[in-house]
Amino acid sequence: MRKFIRYILPLALLGMLSSGCEDYLNINDDPNRVTEVDLASLLPSTQLALANSHYSITTSTGRVTQHISSYFGYIDEGTLRIGGAWSTLYLRVLENARIMAEQAQESGSPHYEGVAKTIQAYGLLLLSDQWEDVPWTEAFKGSENLTPVFDSQESLYTTASQLLDEAIPLLGAEESIFSPGGDDLIYGGDLSLWAKAAYGIQARLAIHLVNKGGSYAQDAIDAAARSFASPEEDFQFIYNSVIRNPWHTNVALANNTGNFSFAQGAYFVNQLNGSIYPDVDPRLNILATLDEGATAYIGIESFNTEAPSNTVNFRVDTWHSRELAPMEMVTYAEMKFIEAEAYLALNQPDAAYTAYLAGIEADMGKRGVGAADITAYLGAPSVAVGAGSLSLEEVMRQKYIALFLNPEAWVDMRRHNYSTEVYKGFITPDPVMWGGPAQRALYPLDELNRNGAEVEKVSKPFGQPMWRDQ
């Protein structure tokens, strides 16, 4: 393999990225000459934008799943427009990834092209999983087409799958003029891990469609088996002292000064504190920090004005809101729960149970739970149900906990139609208002103003399930 000296991104450039200077990184002095610096500048800015999109989406969808709740009331349709994430995904993620893929192809750098296509697939699924139909085939044409048509979710899923199929062999190419290195803020240039991430996204895509029958359950199992081997390989954005986790900077630090915004939701906390299930989860004090003087763990229930005041918050030492906590996107634990669900669909309870227990153990280990506490929890009555009694309730309960602050949790809830047989004790507030529980984000106002005619063609009621879930 031909290798050039890898471009190591200086802290000064990282500071520029965190300040929103991605526009600078999209400009090449000589568009006819691709250099390693071009690609190495595009990659970290694109990855940062992807992580920011993940955070932005979760601050809305996490309120639907009740992972979190707001001090300022429950969600409404306006909350689920998520305009910032829409813009970031199109302008900073998918556009940059498109340019990166083109430049990589022109320069004979399949390793960068494979990374770019993996990011494209993930970003496209993020868009479609929130809004269903979104522009793709006519997007990214600038002033040539300001009113792109919206592609169907079915076609977008096909496109994402094709991108991943193309990415995997590119990542394994024997020669590449330029290859990611220190500019890769996710895997540090380890292409084998990028390939595993691509398989992980394929597994997620397949489990999304498992209710449609066919081979999707087996496809999910096969892809998950080729994905991560441990939590150390998780697909996650790695922060540093210059670019810090937004749950830390925007939520935990603000909470320290009394500027409260979000806290852990009551339903999420009740999954852990013994309220819904009798066994207290040892992750409780890791994922939610008690306020000073409090002894009982109580989350926010913003739709219930008679609910007790919360006693937990995000603090600087809460796992997900630590300064350097990673932005988790696809994880090994998720793969295990995907396998468990798929094996249940195929009536293979023994394999499902093995995967289910492995998912719990992996997530607990990553959060820092001690070995003795993990062993005790895995033997608890509500957890150690046995292969013959394992159901979607147990699998999705544990997956919901492992996916804390991940928008994928909303996909799961919609796939299972918010069923209380799957999500025990879940309450959907005021479903009559929307004709049913929230099934989609509404299109951003900017898109309505700019491309209203095309938006009108694909707009559906807030409570109408997506193609994916029908």
* pLDDT, tens digit (0-9, with 9 covering 90-100), for 225-246: 999 999 999 999 999 989 999 9
DSSP string, 349-384: HHHHHHHHHHHHHHHHHHHT--HHHHHHHHTSTTT-
Mean pLDDT for 386-400 is 99
- pLDDT of residue 27 exceeding 80, the answer is no
Q: What's 178's DSSP letter? A: S
Mean pLDDT for 14-20 is 43
pLDDT at 430: 65
Q: Where are the beta strands (DSSP E) in 28-127?
A: 68-70
Strand, helix or coil for residue 322: coil
Mean pLDDT for 95-118 is 98
- pLDDT of residue 11 exceeding 50, the answer is no
- Asked if residues 197 and 235 have their Cβ atoms less than 8 Å apart, the reply is yes
Write a three-state SS string for 421-446.
Answer: CCCCCCCCCCHHHHCCCCCCCCCCHH
CA R_g for the chain: 22
- Asked if residues 131 and 441 have their Cβ atoms less than 8 Å apart, the reply is yes
pLDDT band at 36 (very low <50, low <70, confident <90, very high): low
DSSP string, 141-172: -GGG-SSPPPBPHHHHHHHHHHHHHHHHHHHT
pLDDT band at 72 (very low <50, low <70, confident <90, very high): confident
pLDDT at 68: 96
Q: What's 275's DSSP letter? A: S
- Find how far residue 415's CA is from the centre of its chain: 16
Lowest mean pLDDT among 63-72, 288-297, 302-311, 335-344: 302-311
How far apart CA 277 and CA 425 sit, in angstroms, is 10
Mean pLDDT for 138-163 is 96
- Asked if residues 251 and 315 have their Cβ atoms less than 8 Å apart, the reply is no
pLDDT at 35: 65
DSSP string, 195-250: HHHHHHHHHHHHHHTGGG-TTHHHHHHHHHHTS-SSGGG-EEEPP-SSS--HIIII
pLDDT at 336: 99
Structure tokens at 74: 């429950």
Sign of CA dihedral 81, 87, 92, 95: positive
pLDDT at 447: 95
Share of residues in the chain with pLDDT > 70 (%) = 90
How far apart CA 291 and CA 114 sit, in angstroms, is 46
pLDDT band at 303 (very low <50, low <70, confident <90, very high): confident
Helices and strands (H and E) in the chain: how many = 20, 6
- pLDDT of residue 5 exceeding 70, the answer is no
**What region, left, alpha or beta, does residue 369 occupy, with left being phi > 0 and alpha being psi -120 to 50 degrees?**
beta
pLDDT at 78: 65
Mean pLDDT for 447-460 is 96
**Residue entry with tokens 């920090």:** 289
pLDDT band at 6 (very low <50, low <70, confident <90, very high): very low
Sign of CA dihedral 222, 225, 228, 234: positive
Q: What's 265's DSSP letter? A: B
Mean pLDDT for 422-427 is 96
List, for residues 170-192, the tens digit of each pLDDT value. Answer: 999 999 999 999 999 999 999 99
**What region, left, alpha or beta, does residue 125 occupy, with left being phi > 0 and alpha being psi -120 to 50 degrees?**
alpha
Structure tokens at 152: 């169907």
- pLDDT of residue 449 exceeding 90, the answer is yes
List, for residues 262-275, the tens digit of each pLDDT value. Answer: 999 999 999 999 99
List, for residues 341-350, the tens digit of each pLDDT value. Answer: 999 999 999 9
pLDDT band at 18 (very low <50, low <70, confident <90, very high): very low
Q: Which domains does the chain have, with CATH numbers?
A: 11-189+435-463 (1.25.40.390), 214-236+258-284+329-427 (1.20.120)
pLDDT at 231: 99
Q: Which of 97, 122, 92 is nearest to 198 (CA)?
A: 122
List, for residues 39-68, the tens digit of each pLDDT value. Answer: 999 999 999 999 999 999 999 999 999 999
How far apart CA 314 and CA 323 sit, in angstroms, is 12
Mean pLDDT for 301-314 is 88
- pLDDT of residue 117 exceeding 90, the answer is yes
pLDDT at 29: 41
Q: Which of 224, 207, 197, 196 is nearest to 341 (CA)?
A: 207
**Average pLDDT across the chain, whole number:** 92
Q: Are strands 235-237 and 327-330 parallel, antiparallel or unpaired?
A: antiparallel
- Find how far residue 192's CA is from the centre of its chain: 21
pLDDT band at 8 (very low <50, low <70, confident <90, very high): very low
